[in-house]
Amino acid sequence: MFSATINIVTSYYVIYGIPQRRKTIATTGVIFNLIILAFFKYSPLFASTFLNTNDSIGHFLLTIPLPIGISFFTFEGISLVVDVYKEQYFRDSNHYSLANHAKRTIFFISFFPHLISGPILKAHEFLPQISEKKVGTINWNACVKNLILGYFLKMVVADNLKDFTFWMQYPYFQSFSSISLIFMLFGYSCQIFADFAGYSIIAIGMAKLFGYNFIENFNFPYISTSFSEFWRRWHISLSSFLKEYLYIPLGGNRKGKVRTYVNLLITMTLGGLWHGAAWSYAIWGLFHGTALAVERLYKDYIPTKSNPIVSLFSGIFVFSFVTLAWLLFKLPKIEHVIAFLQSVYNNYSFADNPPLVTYIVLYSLPVILYHLFYLVKERFSIKQIKYDFII
């Protein structure tokens, strides 16, 4: 409620206040949002890194509870303040009163389906949808499809895979063979997709039950043949948020090539840290930012022509890199990540674990088929379009 109040007041006076103070009020609103997020989410990380956790201040910061959904509703607040500053169509004579504005804002921030795991809502996408809804207008077919798919990915695929990728934790992984560890890492990659995508698809289905449409959040990301494509398909609401509210304000690609690479590194590192209060998340973001920067550098100086063979190997490389980087999610301590990789290299003579490998393949198969079906469908659609054009 404190967060919502800040965003109600600042966004209202950005819209209806003194025009000369709009920028100052919007900036103040964004800063307050970031302070709230930093205090509750990153105080423990700050304390464990820079302070003595045995003294009173360090212990206090370390024990601050994390409010559920704070990352999502804080980003929504930032979106609201920035959007009302940038977009004029939020000025609406029907909602001029502060009470009406507060009611719409609280509804936007507290709309529950997405609050735990996304998608991240943007004000300019959600606020225009606020209106009286009729049961007869609900697309029941889309609701049921999304809910069945989402719950299947989350409860059947992800929740079963986690029982077998559990052994990736330190020190258990040290006793498994190299092959078993590679399959566990592959299974974890499928698990994290099924978990994140499953939650988002459930949220999309639930929102449709109430007459609201969320953007698609995961668009078959593991078929990507480049890192930029991966981030156009993975957690789309987050990547688009970072692009609109961080990368472009930093200068985007408008201030030269070197600045573009720096902006990519900053955006992705902060995006990684958004996922959790541990330095491993920042390193994960830095890995992806480096990959995006190197890829852009390569394309800037070495133009390439796409062909099926190059696309195939590019897709394998991108998926392998992404899968390897997920280790930083599973193992927050860098020394444990290094130990895992050492075990993969050294444990080739250990006996394999056929039941473990079999179950990982079994529960990963839906994710594989999910992406393969899309590839086949997309390829058929392209051929059909060409055929129709020829006719």
Catalytic residues: 275
**Alpha-carbon gap, residue 6 to 79, rounded angstroms:** 13
Q: Kindly report the number of other CB atoms within 10 A of residue 346's CB atom.
A: 11
> Helix 257-275 to helix 279-301 angle, to the nearest 10 degrees?
150
Q: What angle do CA 170, 174, 180 make, to 5 degrees?
A: 105
**Alpha-carbon gap, residue 314 to 321, rounded angstroms:** 11
**Nearest residue to 62 via CA among 277, 273, 271:** 277
Residues 6+ apart with CB under 8 A from 354: none
**Alpha-carbon gap, residue 170 to 330, rounded angstroms:** 10
The answer to whether 97 touches 12, Cβ cutoff 8 Å, is no
**Nearest residue to 183 via CA among 164, 158, 155:** 164
Give the H or E element holding residue 231.
helix 227-233
**Nearest residue to 171 via CA among 306, 342, 386:** 342
The helix/strand/coil state of 225 is coil
